[in-house]
Amino acid sequence: MSKIWVLAGKEFRGYFSSWLAYIFIAAFVLSSVVTFFYLDRFFGNGRAEIRGFFAWLPFTLAILVPGLTMRQWAKENETKSIEFLMTLPTKTSFLVMGKFTGTMGFVLVSLLFTVGIPMTAANLGDLDWGPVVGGYAAAILLGAVYTAIGLFVSACFDDQFPALLTGWLVCAFLAGMNHDVVLSWVSHLPGFVGDIMRFFGLWQRFHAIGRGIVDLRDLLYSLSVIAVFLYLNVCRLQSVRYAS
């Protein structure tokens, strides 16, 4: 475990050594503020609640998290430093978990910068903090899902831009599969299509946890997706190790 934390610390500090970290935080906070205060019209609804902020998070995070993960392995592949990493006497799983933990640390910091939104709502009215805590817990879990997906996608490319685009597509696709609008589009298809989309989609699962409805099936599904993509990431790197 100590090796994982050392690797995670290195990755976490690496974000703040470049402009990427500051652009990510600024873009994330700005998009959250715009969608909540302007698109969701917080000041016009007369209620102290921040459901609008959490309603946009599945797509906001789906756009921004791949921007963090795109460089993690794709840059290593591009510069051929991946071959050096594979010769180190460190388990491949430790390398993957180190990058995952370091990236998640940065996602947590980014979410921390949005606490001004519920604090503003609380100053303007009687805010129920229960859904706020549940929403942030769901956001952390969702961020972990996107991070695991993004890392695997990054390991499959030698260039950061295709990794970014593919990460966007995969995360946004999973996020929106069981959105009400999407389900209405496929309502004319055989019933099993909608059932599959409801099962694999993240939208309804995220909002259920955010409302405080903790269904063990939702937690197990999210944790399973994280585990599967981290395992695929390890397998991908192992193939590189064996090839070298």
Q: How many residues are recorded in the chain?
A: 244
Better-scored residue on pLDDT, 74 or 187: 74
Segment 92-97 long-range contacts (CB within 8 Å, at least 24 positions apart):
92/234, 92/237, 92/238, 92/241, 93/234, 94/3, 94/4, 94/7, 95/7, 95/237, 96/151, 96/230, 96/233, 96/234, 96/237, 97/4, 97/7, 97/8, 97/230
Per-residue pLDDT, averaged over 122-149, amounts to 85
Instruction: Count other Cβ atoms within 10 Å, centred on residue 132.
Output: 22
Please report the pLDDT score of residue 227 as a whole number. Answer: 95
Angstrom distance (rounded) from CA 92 to CA 102: 16
Do 129 and 212 form a contact (C-beta atoms < 8 A)?
Answer: no
This prediction's pTM: 0.88
Per the listing, tokens 């500051």 go with 22
Report which of residues 79 and 48 the model is more confident about. Answer: 79
User: What does the radius of gyration of the chain's CA atoms come to, in whole angstroms?
Assistant: 19
3-state helix, strand, coil in the chain (%, to 5): 80, 0, 20
Q: In whole numbers, what is the pLDDT of the chain averaged over residues?
A: 82
Question: What per-residue confidence (pLDDT) applies to 243?
Answer: 62
What percent of the chain has pLDDT above 90? 21
Number of C-beta neighbours around residue 165 at 10 A: 14
Tokens 């995360």 belong to 171
Q: Within a 10 A sphere around the Cβ of 139, how many other Cβ atoms?
A: 24
Q: What is the pLDDT of residues 156-191, one digit of tens each?
A: 988 888 999 999 999 988 888 877 777 777 777 777
Q: Is the pLDDT of residue 212 over 70?
A: no
Closest CA to 133 of 70, 214, 217, 78: 214
Cα–Cα separations (whole angstroms), residue 180 to 49, 54, 84: 22, 16, 47
Cα 191 from Cα 118, distance rounded (Å) = 39
Find the range with the poorest average confidence among 28-32, 104-108, 185-189: 185-189
The arithmetic mean of pLDDT across residues 78-88, rounded, is 73
Instruction: Say yes or no to pLDDT of 242 above 70.
Output: no
Rounded to 10 degrees, what is the CA torsion of 129, 131, 133, 135? -140
